[in-house]
Amino acid sequence: MSEIFPSRAAARHAEQAGTHSPDPVEEPAAAWEDERDQPFYEEHQEQPFYEEHLEYEDHHEPSRRSSRVSKRVRKRRRTVVFFLILVMFAAVVFFVVQSIKPMLGGFTAADYPGPGTGSVQVMVPAGSSARSVATLLTAKDVVASEQAFVDALAAADGTGSLQPGAFELRLQMKAADAVTVLLAGDPSKVHYAAVSQNLRLGETLALLAKSTGIPITEFESLANNPAEFGLPAQAKNLEGYLAPGEYRFPVELDAKGILAQMVAATQKNLVAAGVSEPAQQYRILTIASIIEFEGNEANYAEISGAIENRINNPNGETHGFLQSDATVVYGLGIKSYNLTQAQKDDKSNLYNTYANPGLPVGPIGSPGAKAIVAAAHPQANPYYFWVTVNLKTGETLFATTFAEHQANVAKYVAWCTANAGECDK
């Protein structure tokens, strides 16, 4: 500092010596500049004292820039730490999964090696999802697991390509092979026909003609010649033999081929139920067709037992008469069950089981597999009477005596009164 201001230093020296120094003489600018220590001056020209002092204090308190730098460093450190924790967590999860995987048998869905054995017919309903078809195939032991089928279907990009119909598959197939069979059918090369239960022969033939474009006369001519399909002499036509279900008939298949396929399906159901003798098959089909009209799946076996009680006990409550409205209306060619007494007394109607004892002369529709099983294996019970007291829910009441039956019929009448028009259908 003394080198920068020499005159002031001299004045202070004079005061310390006790003498009065005259006022300093202002020196010419040129002389002032000459006496400057140029390097030192340039170094301190823009840094006066107070700035030096502040600079000294800055050594103790961090600047804003250094603070921002510190924050970035801390942020990077936190990111690194978080990443390391995430990696460690993933490693732990992987270790745990690998440890318990053997106990769970792995995550690969169970699948058969194939190619499978035997043959099984699978009916794929319209609108079926991949999962519902997988459930169906698993239940029939076509594939080992639902997931194996779903995975194979997804791999084949066929999730949205499943078509309804009847398919011939093997037992214990590899899932991918089952998918191949189900996706092989080209909808443009098949005729789809959904034949529901309880359809009469004429209704079924009309549906087949509409679905295939084949004239109904071709179907009718064949249906009236059951011998062409190897059926017993009792059969006057194909009534009862055209199995209900959903079919996909190849476009090149003719009317006889279509009917033969449906007859074969019924015969397969009969054999599966333990009925192989042709004459016995005809009897079982007749009972099964009545069961389907008289009840629902929940009480097929009970109704079958009551039917056997009626036709096998001529001295029983009903004296050997079946007394089924369903058979009478079939013989009359109508649908309504509002029968007159004259209609019930008409013996000329060979399907009139009020006037003629025992079974009618033949089936009154084409029964499904469950009704055939119930007819072949009736439930042993003491019942002679049954009546459906709620046409919407199918609730059916059984009775041993006519008096009990009359009480149940009263409930049916009450339901009809409360549901006007329902019992007139």
Task: Report whether pLDDT(28) > 90.
Answer: no
- Is the Cβ–Cβ distance between 37 and 20 less than 8 Å? no
User: What pLDDT score was predicted for residue 169?
Assistant: 86
Q: Which two tokens stand for residue 214?
A: 């084949």
- Where is average pLDDT lowest: 64-78, 135-149, 248-262? 64-78
Among 179, 187, 185, smallest CA distance to 142 is for 179
What digits encode the pLDDT tens for the residues 91-104?
777 666 555 544 44
Among 386, 393, 385, smallest CA distance to 415 is for 393
290 vs 249, higher pLDDT: 290
C-alpha dist (Å) from residue 275 to 190, 237, 272, 278, 281: 32, 20, 7, 8, 6
User: What pLDDT score was predicted for residue 108?
Assistant: 75
424 vs 259, higher pLDDT: 259
Residue 255 and residue 390: Cα distance in Å, rounded?
40
Task: Report whether pLDDT(125) > 80.
Answer: yes
Amino acid at 362: G
Q: Average pLDDT, stretch 64-86?
A: 73
User: What pLDDT score was predicted for residue 97?
Assistant: 54
User: What pLDDT score was predicted for residue 13?
Assistant: 45
Task: Report whether pLDDT(84) > 70.
Answer: yes
Task: Report whether pLDDT(300) > 60.
Answer: yes
274 vs 154, higher pLDDT: 274
Confidence of residue 288 (pLDDT cuts 50, 70, 90): very high
377 vs 49, higher pLDDT: 377
- Where is average pLDDT lowest: 87-91, 301-305, 372-376? 87-91
34 vs 409, higher pLDDT: 409
pLDDT above 70: percentage of residues in the chain: 78
User: What pLDDT score was predicted for residue 58?
Assistant: 46
Task: Report whether pLDDT(41) > 80.
Answer: no
User: What pLDDT score was predicted for residue 141?
Assistant: 94
Strand partners, 121: 168
Amino acid at 281: Q
- Is the Cβ–Cβ distance between 244 and 368 less than 8 Å? yes
pTM of the model: 0.60
Q: ∠148-150-156 over CA atoms, to 5°?
A: 100
What digits encode the pLDDT tens for the residues 187-237?
556 788 889 888 999 999 999 999 999 999 999 999 999 999 999 999 999
User: What pLDDT score was predicted for residue 99?
Assistant: 55
Amino acid at 92: V
What digits encode the pLDDT tens for the residues 327-374?
999 999 998 778 899 999 999 999 999 999 999 999 999 999 999 999
Task: Report whether pLDDT(105) > 90.
Answer: no
pLDDT above 90: percentage of residues in the chain: 52
Q: What is the mean pLDDT of the chain?
A: 82
Confidence of residue 51 (pLDDT cuts 50, 70, 90): very low
User: What pLDDT score was predicted for residue 358?
Assistant: 95
Residue 242 and residue 223: Cα distance in Å, rounded?
10
User: What pLDDT score was predicted for residue 122?
Assistant: 87
